[in-house]
Chain A
Amino acid sequence: MYQVDRAYSYIFYISLVLYLVSIFWGLFVTPEDFVQGNSYRIIYLHVPASFISQSLYIAMAIASAIFLIWKVKLSAYLVRSIAPIGAITTFIALISGSIWGIPTWGTWWVWDARIVSTLILFIMYLGLISLHDSFSNHEKADKFLSILVLVGSVNIPIIKMSVEWWSTLHQPASITISDKPAIDLVMLYPLFGSIVGFAGIVTCLVILSSKLQILRRERNKSWIKNYV
């Protein structure tokens, strides 16, 4: 616990600075986009948020699998603590996406596959939190939470592939692992910076939330009394 506390301050301030720098760079230094004008700049909020929300779900799925196979209690705490942060991140992604939609598509909501799948992801996060909190027996609640996370992870490939499988309004990925990026380099650097910065902030929130879970669940143990 003590090492985490020390590292925590470093991670938080570094990622906060990184994110603010990327935002500043993205908002004021990069030129206007050819097609969309200045409104594209919300990409620096929308893309990190949606990317992180899907990565958080994958992290939850891996932690659930670890909990079910090796019965590590810490994994279950981690799953429960990521859930609300994942919900908030998905909500930011949905809202920023809607705001971006107004100047670009003329509408703030459209029922295409990727948007609906992200909405499903948001509802799943909320469902996970409510299911876990409705059980008073913690061991049972952890087991059911892990199972639901794993069953719901079928949604992630659907989100990622939905842009390819169905012709939709949402633009396909501009950054892939193998091909040359379709987006100009000047805008790419702040985008990467903002993704990393956002990830750093989210990691700090996850660490905070996990500490809270551990303190709440283990409050009867003796080492907690020494720590607090």
Chain B
Amino acid sequence: MNIIKFELLKLRNKSRGWLGPILVFILIMVAFPLTVEISNKDLGQSFFVVLWIAILLVMMLATEDIFLEDFNDGSLEQFAISNISFPYIIAVKIFIYWLLIGVPISIIGSLFCLGFTNSGNLAINLFPILLITTYIFINVFSFGNALSLTKGSVLGTLVTLPLLLPLLIVLGKAVISINLNLNYLGFVALLLGVLSIIIFLIPLIISYIIRAHLE
């Protein structure tokens, strides 16, 4: 399909668009035990603290460019005029960004979890949570990006950051539940529910916002 080929071709050549965030993530996860001198026992505890913050910031960094370049050179205008449904185009864009950035970060995050906590059970159970969480983050930060598209500042992204804080609370509880083997599937179901609502609503909202920008 046209839009998928468009986005993949564009990102293949613009490797800093997707490789950059992944490398920044690896850098943060490698740097933190070097800078904070913790004994091996505490490493497992503090790992999750750094993991969620690192993913939050890296996703914020990664989505900075998702609409800006296409808006500035006129490609978004052409998409808006074409017969293809505009929310569909935005949903595909977000999906491809998630494939190229979210999935590798989930894999790498789970591997780091294995390395830091020496618990295979924790790492395997963390992986689907990371997949869903990265997708939710990309959606919400794309929404924030779309809001301040013409201003070029990070104002929109910063304004949507508070909306994700309740999600962080839930994620903290989910990790504890993996450790204690309690209600793990309940948390996954909750995250999936949030994701399914967001997947439908956010492209619709973003298409409305971008059309307002294009006027």
Contacts and interface: CB of A to CB of B under 8 A. Distances in A.
Interface of A: 113, 116-117, 120, 123-124, 127-128, 130-131, 134-135, 140, 143-144, 147-148, 151-152, 154-155, 158, 166
A49 B41 CA distance: 45
Contact of B159 (A117, A130, A154, A158): A130
A112 B177 CA distance: 18
Contact of A131 (B143, B155, B169, B212): B155
A18 to B, nearest CB: 34
A172 B154 CA distance: 37
A134 B155 contact: yes
Interface residues of B, number: 22
Interface of B: 143, 147-148, 151, 153, 155-156, 158-160, 162-163, 165-166, 169, 173, 205, 208-209, 212-213, 215
- How would you classify the secondary structure of chain A's contact residues: helix, strand, loop or mixed? helix
A164 B33 CA distance: 37
Contact of A120 (B148, B162, B173): B162
A152 B163 contact: yes
Contacts, number: 57
A50 B159 CA distance: 22
B80 to A, nearest CB: 16
Nearest to A143: B212
A124 B213 contact: no
23 contacts: A113-B169, A116-B165, A117-B166, A124-B162, A124-B163, A130-B155, A131-B148, A131-B159, A134-B151, A140-B213, A143-B212, A144-B209, A144-B212, A147-B147, A147-B209, A148-B160, A151-B163, A152-B163, A154-B163, A155-B162, A155-B166, A158-B166, A166-B173
